[in-house]
Structure 1
Amino acid sequence: MDDQARDVGRRVRYWRQRRDIDRQRFADMVERSTSWVDKVEKGERSLLRLPMLERVAEVLSIAPEVLTDGPKARQAAGCIDAVEVQAIRSALGQYPSLSRSAGVKPPAMSRVARQLDYLGQAWISSNFTAVAHQLPVLIHEAQVLAATATGDVDVRGARRALVMSYRLASSMLLKFEANQVAWLAADRAMQIALPTDDNVALARATRSVARAMTSSGQESDAIAALVSMADRMRSEMTVGDRDQLPLFGMLFLAASIAAAKVDDHSTALMMHEEAEAVVVQLGPEHRSHYTVFGSANVAAHRLAALVRLREFGRALEHAATVDPAVVRALPPERRANYLLDMTSAHTGAGNYSDATVALTEAERLAPQEVRCRPLAHGLLRALLSNTSGALAGSVRTMALRAGVEA
């Protein structure tokens, strides 16, 4: 068996399955038999003739070199792509309640909850390809559940699940700078939450909307929305309310980042101090409600705010006061973002060796954060321009894995 044919066949099978295309449908799409597909995927038949290679790549919505070039194949396989973003966009554009079909059984709340738990774990593990692949189905099922739920408790649970589905979509799309679609997801979350008078759903939706606003240059609007929601919750929470307190604290963290982006030092610090006060009330780290809130995440957000304020020296001074064990306790997604902010701080301060160490650790911990995100690609380009010798070699190797040209 030819090694190249085997590698190409394995990639064809991977992308066929990732696109949810069964063998018969795939065979029909490329105008070949299923036995031909089997032989290609097993490496028993070469797919190196250009017209057929291009045809297969077109059906799979990938570039031909993703099938033939090892580094490009690995980079593409480890990142979400335009097809998956479009699938999420399409899911956001569905309105199941407009066409309820008689006899169609809605999904069970337990099934939607399990899907949310699975994708929530994938998210905090920085496994974004898993999130992107499953999210359109989750959104659709959560939409149907919310449209068919009855009874106060069932309706509230279904709407919370749908808000969380939209929030997950918005957060991931913002990470990959698909800002317009992220805005749509955030707005859908808010439209579901507003009629509920449910602070848990409203706080989650407000954070999504505020982050979308911040990404679009509407930082003042974002801060106003977050503070308004915090004021609403402050008047309604009981002492030690462990359901709402973490969400309450996260509103202030989001506001601190929005303020930092417009160089509002005093508001960024004030919001940080509000979040610290919530940590004192809450006690130990809190990780329910898909919310990681506590001293570690508050410290990480302060670093992020100082970086956005371009106070790189102060950011590094702050990081020096943070217990490394506290950072290690964060889930991979949060810890990787802390390391990306450390990379930014060291780069801004001219500490390129330390920046490379931080970025290398971020890639080891959460490869998709570094190899796929535009933010990390920008950091790689900055380090490529400012390093030499062995250090530059390390950066070039990372850049190659990320598909960033030296």
Structure 2
Amino acid sequence: MLANLAVTAAAAAGAPLLSGDAAPTNDALLGQLLVSRLRDAMLGLGHRPPDVRPEALSTDLSRALADFHTCRYASLAVRLPRLLQAGHALTTSSEDPEHHLLLANSYTLATRMLIKLDEQQLGWMAADRARQLAAASADPLSVAEAARQLAVLARKAQWHDQALSIALTAADDPALRTAGRQGTAQRGLLIQSAAYTAARCGDRDGMRDLTSEAAAIADGLGGATLLRDHGGGFSPVTVQLHLISAENSAGDPMAALAAARAISPKALPSAERRSRYHTDVATALARRGHRDECVRALLAAEQQAPEETHARPAVKSLISGLLVSGRTIPELRGLAARAGVLA
């Protein structure tokens, strides 16, 4: 099915280094394709990529990160697996810490993508490789970001104590405290992650305390801090975005909607973050029984990031629930068709 829906990848990826594969035109299948290609790249299957210069890989990692932040799954389905393959070829022939850092950051991005696509088994594999490679590179920001992704996976596995420990231990790493403004911002992201975990295990007071701590760090930085591995970086606005998700996870959709009203989605730093805002609002509205408003929020997410909205399992599940739980409107049926969700 995927092969029959393929188009040339050069148009999707827009980069000569990683051209030569194909991506489907059907957005609903993009997640499946991306997972299968990441799996094969991580298992060492497929053609060995041509020898490339480290500078070219660094450029392509930047492009892959841009694809992630703009939710271009078709491009990522081409670029990211080939980036892992090329990175392995480079580190096999070199002990340069910078080469390990390139591959560590590639695996961290793969982990984030696999978490979005609810592929936890492959996510653990990618996260562990990211952690080991980041440690070999001795880069404190990469070590911290790899730890943050491990904490997310532990949370999804309902290992809440372990997830809190991973995130808060990484946040207390002395290396982050001497890494300047970016190190402080990375600490804030880790504390945000711990707050979300507290929400998932029902500790609302702990969640709000940790969120307040992250907000204080953001306020102390005096504005947004850009981080290469996190679209738009860390700021008071991104802390507030995490609070919406945390309040939803704590079972309080009214508080989630109140948190959403405190920010404008236009203030969020990337299409990926704006799409997350709208899907979190949709989740809260669905829990409140506001079906039509929920559909409008999902359509707003689709406008920001169509490929993500159509491919993410969490969004598909929300659409499916709306289809079977009550009256459907044409807009919902159209969205379901584009996302490949059947009633």
Q: Same fold (TM over 0.5)?
A: yes
**Letter of the 1:383 counterpart:** L
Do 1:286 and 1:294's aligned partners in 2 also have CA atoms closer than 8 Å? yes
Residue 74 in structure 1 maps to residue 26 in structure 2: yes
Residue 344 in structure 1 maps to residue 335 in structure 2: no
SS in 2 for 1:287: strand
Residue 160 in structure 1 maps to residue 112 in structure 2: no
TM-score by length of 1: 0.74
SS in 1 for 2:257: helix
**Letter of the 1:223 counterpart:** L
Aligned position for 1:260? 199
Compute the displacement of 1:149 (Å): 3.8
* Counterpart selection for 1:395 from 318, 332, 341: 332
| Structure index of larger Rg | 1
SS in 2 for 1:263: coil
**Letter of the 2:76 counterpart:** V
SS in 1 for 2:165: helix
Do 2:101 and 2:137's aligned partners in 1 also have CA atoms closer than 8 Å? no
**Letter of the 2:85 counterpart:** H
Structure 2 spans left out of the alignment, 5+ residues: 11-20
SS in 2 for 1:243: helix
* Counterpart selection for 1:176 from 117, 122, 125: 117
- How far apart, CA to CA, are the structure 2 residues paired with 1:75 and 1:112? 27
More strand by share: 2
- How far apart, CA to CA, are the structure 1 residues paired with 2:161 and 2:147? 14
Change (3 A) 1:356 1:144: same
Residue 247 in structure 1 maps to residue 186 in structure 2: yes
Residue 89 in structure 1 maps to residue 39 in structure 2: yes
Aligned position for 1:190? 131
Aligned position for 1:224? 165
- How far apart, CA to CA, are the structure 2 residues paired with 1:220 and 1:333? 28
- How far apart, CA to CA, are the structure 1 residues paired with 2:37 and 2:335? 29
- Cα RMSD of the aligned pairs, angstroms, is 2.8
- Could you list the per-position Cα deviations for residues 321-340 of structure 1 after superposition, in whole angstroms to 9, with x for gaps in the alignment? 224542xx420011101111
- How far apart, CA to CA, are the structure 2 residues paired with 1:236 and 1:148? 33
Aligned position for 1:38? none
- How far apart, CA to CA, are the structure 1 residues paired with 2:22 and 2:91? 33
Aligned position for 1:35? none
Compute the displacement of 1:175 (Å): 0.8
Compute the displacement of 1:315 (Å): 1.0
Compute the displacement of 1:195 (Å): 3.9
**Letter of the 1:395 counterpart:** L
Aligned position for 1:15? 6
Compute the displacement of 1:212 (Å): 1.6
- Could you list the per-position Cα deviations for residues 239-280 of structure 1 after superposition, in whole angstroms to 9, with x for gaps in the alignment? xx1231222211111112222121121222222122112212
Aligned position for 2:90? 145
Sequence identity of aligned pairs in percent?
A: 25
- How far apart, CA to CA, are the structure 2 residues paired with 1:336 and 1:250? 19
Do 2:164 and 2:194's aligned partners in 1 also have CA atoms closer than 8 Å? yes
Change (3 A) 1:332 1:323: closer
Aligned position for 1:22? none
**Letter of the 2:297 counterpart:** A
Aligned position for 1:26? none
Do 2:38 and 2:81's aligned partners in 1 also have CA atoms closer than 8 Å? yes
SS in 2 for 1:217: coil
- How far apart, CA to CA, are the structure 2 residues paired with 1:18 and 1:106? 20
Do 2:265 and 2:277's aligned partners in 1 also have CA atoms closer than 8 Å? no
* Counterpart selection for 1:314 from 251, 255, 261: 255
**Letter of the 2:217 counterpart:** V
**Letter of the 2:157 counterpart:** S
SS in 1 for 2:31: coil
More relative contact order, 1 or 2 (CA 8 Å, 6+ apart): 2
**Letter of the 1:215 counterpart:** K
Do 1:384 and 1:392's aligned partners in 2 also have CA atoms closer than 8 Å? no
- How far apart, CA to CA, are the structure 1 residues paired with 2:286 and 2:308? 18
Alignment length (residue pairs): 327
Residue 123 in structure 1 maps to residue 68 in structure 2: yes
Compute the displacement of 1:15 (Å): 1.7
- How far apart, CA to CA, are the structure 2 residues paired with 1:94 and 1:176? 21
- How far apart, CA to CA, are the structure 2 residues paired with 1:139 and 1:341? 31
**Letter of the 1:295 counterpart:** P
Change (3 A) 1:87 1:246: same
Compute the displacement of 1:160 (Å): 2.0
Compute the displacement of 1:286 (Å): 2.3
Residue 285 in structure 1 maps to residue 224 in structure 2: yes
Do 2:108 and 2:126's aligned partners in 1 also have CA atoms closer than 8 Å? yes
Do 1:106 and 1:148's aligned partners in 2 also have CA atoms closer than 8 Å? no
Change (3 A) 1:255 1:61: same
Do 1:160 and 1:201's aligned partners in 2 also have CA atoms closer than 8 Å? yes
Compute the displacement of 1:282 (Å): 1.9
TM-score by length of 2: 0.86
Do 1:107 and 1:144's aligned partners in 2 also have CA atoms closer than 8 Å? no
Do 1:252 and 1:275's aligned partners in 2 also have CA atoms closer than 8 Å? yes
Structure 1 spans left out of the alignment, 5+ residues: 1-10, 20-59, 67-72, 96-103
